Chains A and B, each alone.
Chain A
Amino acid sequence: MRRQFLFLLLLFASFSLVYSSVAYYVLSRPPSQQFMAWGIFSPAGTLSNYFSGSEANVTAGKVIDWHLAITNQMGSIQYVQVLYRLGNGTSADPSATVPASSIPPLGNSSIFIPNARTALLNFTWSISNKTRGGMVFLNMTINGRQVSPSVGAVGGQKFRFFFELWTYDVASNSFQYGYKGQNSTIGVPLQVWFNSS
């Protein structure tokens, strides 16, 4: 009788262990790689033809309307900030690890994006006027704000916009460059070249 009871107890423990493991597996969130992806879209909604057929030459007064589409797959809502800078052909690029800190930012746009969702930020800009001479400096309007970038380009050629994605880090209570990867932060900068004609 006692032996039978012990056998029952052993079986009970074994079955419970197996079923509890199944329950744990069912209740656990499936593992997924966390990432953020984004792109710059033209007014036509494409990832090309940013200047509506006029090559990459931008004349003063021409208003250009782009959309930044940002997808959040980080597993939770994110507070995202996009920083934009104007560089030239010789400016130090932002990379996967460091932003282009040597160039002062022209401005930023922020947004909250829930997990597994894509948000759009508008980026409307135009060249108000430019200095004449060898080195061309621009006065611009970006999202309704007048800015005067400190970077110029020889003959107005090979300007480029840098776009950097920053995410809010709760631990440091500030925005961090890129998004949090498994071991480090991952920067995903974008750039668009243009000439001032």
Chain B
Amino acid sequence: MHFRFRAFLGILLVLTFCFSGDGGYASGETAQVDAQNQLVKAFVLVQQADLAGASPGQISQLANNLNLALQYQQNSSELNKSASLSSAIAAEALGLANTAREQVSFHQGVAYSIAVGAGFASALIVTESHRIAEFARRLRLRRMRLD
């Protein structure tokens, strides 16, 4: 009876050890996949910021950080570092993309406003050209009289 109990405990211990080992391996793999997913997510957001019109300098800085996160990811002991750096990059890229989109919208607004304003001014110049000529003639006459 005593021996059976010991054997049972031994088997239980071995099984626990095996399962904990498997769990460790699985969690290691999960961490690797998570770090890769975070990195890809950050890359997608940086690419969106780039396409939205963020400055090359800012994109270059984010690319350097992405490469650093990639380096961390290749070292299993630094997966957490990789994931947190990727998250930080993603947040920064999101902000950059929004700013870039706002700037592009602002520039477009300004450019089209100037175009419409110039259109109005041009139309006014054409329709009122005779008055402008008249005004210029009067100015010239006044100057001649003063001389």
Judged by a CB distance under 8 angstroms, whether B70 is at the interface is: yes
For residue A131, CB closer than 8 A to chain B, the reply is no
Bitwise interface map of A from 6 to 29 toward B, beta carbon under 8 Å scored 1, else 0? 011101111111111011001100
Which of A4, A116, A170 touches B44 (beta carbons < 8 Å)?
A170
Residues of B within 8 A of A114 (CB): 50, 56, 59-60, 63
Q: Are B120 and A16 in contact, CB atoms less than 8 angstroms apart?
A: yes
Q: Are B67 and A16 in contact (CB under 8 A)?
A: no
User: Are B119 and A117 interface neighbours, CB within 8 A?
Assistant: no
Which of A62-70, A87-95, A105-113 is the contact stretch? A105-113
Residue contact A77 to B119, C-beta cutoff 8 Å: no
Q: Is the CB of B118 within 8 A of A15?
A: yes
> B31 an interface residue at 8 Å Cβ cutoff?
no
Which residues does chain A contribute within 8 Å of B67, judged by CB atoms? 111-112
Closest to B50 in A: A76
Asked whether any CB of chain B lies closer than 8 Å to the CB of A115, the reply is: yes
- Is there contact, CB below 8 Å, between A20 and B63? no
Bound Cα distance from A12 to B127, whole angstroms: 10
Asked if B35 is at the interface of the complex by the 8 Å CB criterion, the answer is no
Chain B: minimal CB distance from A144 (Å): 11
A7-B127, A76-B50, A112-B67 known; A19 and B119 CB under 8 Å? yes
1/0 per position for A30-63, CB-CB distance to B under 8 A? 0000000000000000000000000000000000
From A12, A113, A168, contact of B40 by CB (8 A): A168
Q: Counting CB contacts under 8 A, is B72 at the interface?
A: no
B111, A27: Cβ atoms closer than 8 Å: yes
With both beta carbons as reference points, the residue of chain A lying nearest to B93 in the complex is identified as: A77
Task: How many A-B residue pairs have C-beta atoms within 8 angstroms? Tell me.
Answer: 86
Within 7-46 of B, Cβ neighbours of A (below 8 Å) are at: 40, 43-44, 46
Q: How far is the CB of B83 from chain A (nearest CB, A)?
A: 16
Contact call A110/B70, Cβ cutoff below 8 A: yes
- Expressed in whole angstroms, the minimum distance between the Cβ of A76 and any Cβ of chain B is 4
**Chain B residues whose C-beta falls within 8 Å of the C-beta of A15 in the assembled complex:** 118-120, 122-123
List the B side residues contacting A170 at CB < 8 Å: 44, 47
Q: For B63, what are the chain A residues with a Cβ–Cβ distance below 8 Å?
A: 77, 112-114, 117
For chain A, the count of residues having a C-beta within 8 Å of the partner chain is: 33
Q: Distance (Å) between the CB of A100 and the closest chain B CB?
A: 24
Chain B residues closer than 8 Å to A19, beta-carbon distance? 114-116, 118-119, 122
B66: which A residues are within 8 A, CB to CB?
A: 79, 112
For B47, the chain A residues whose CB sits under 8 A away are 76-77, 170
Asked if residues A173 and B40 are in contact (CB atoms below 8 Å), the reply is yes
Chain A residue numbers with a CB within 8 Å of B3 are none
Chain B residues with CB below 8 A from A22, complex form: 115
Q: Give B contacts to A, CB under 8 Å.
A: 40, 43-44, 46-47, 50-51, 56, 59-60, 62-63, 66-67, 70, 107-108, 111-112, 114-116, 118-120, 122-124, 126-127
The 5 A-B residue pairs whose C-beta atoms are closest, nearest first, are A16-B119, A11-B123, A15-B119, A19-B115, A12-B123
19 pairs of residues in contact across A and B, judged by CB atoms under 8 Å: A4-B127, A8-B127, A9-B123, A15-B118, A15-B119, A16-B116, A19-B115, A20-B116, A27-B107, A27-B108, A76-B50, A76-B51, A79-B40, A112-B67, A114-B59, A115-B56, A116-B56, A168-B40, A170-B44
